Copies of this chain bind each other. A is one copy, B any other.
Amino acid sequence: MEASVSAAVNVSILAMSVIFTVLVILIFTIKALVKLIPYEAPPPARKVSSSRPPGQDDQVAAITATLAAHMGKRPDEFRIINIQSR
């Protein structure tokens, strides 16, 4: 029993070292990346994680058009900011 526990301790120390080594390498990789490619104002059209944006556009357009048509105002007098579909 004792032998196996000491083996487990050995394995643990070793494994934690490996984990820290791997993640420290990863940290430096990330730091290098971030330094090499600094943040710039993002392309405004790219909304990466939005699902089915066309549908959204259509919905916004439809609601806008309805409101505009109904109230006799021009659609560009008001704006629907967002209908988040998820």
List A residues at the B interface (Cβ < 8 Å).
52, 54-55, 58-59, 62-63, 65-67, 69-71, 78, 80-86
Contacts and interface: CB of A to CB of B under 8 A. Distances in A.
Contacts of A83: 58-59, 62-63
Copies of this chain:
3
Contact of A63 (B54, B58, B63): B63
Given A55-B85, A58-B86, A66-B81, 6 more contacts: A55-B84, A58-B82, A59-B83, A63-B83, A65-B81, A66-B67
Nearest to A82: B62
A85 B59 contact: yes
B62 A70 contact: no
Given A52-B86, A86-B55, A69 B62 contact: no
A54 B83 CA distance: 11
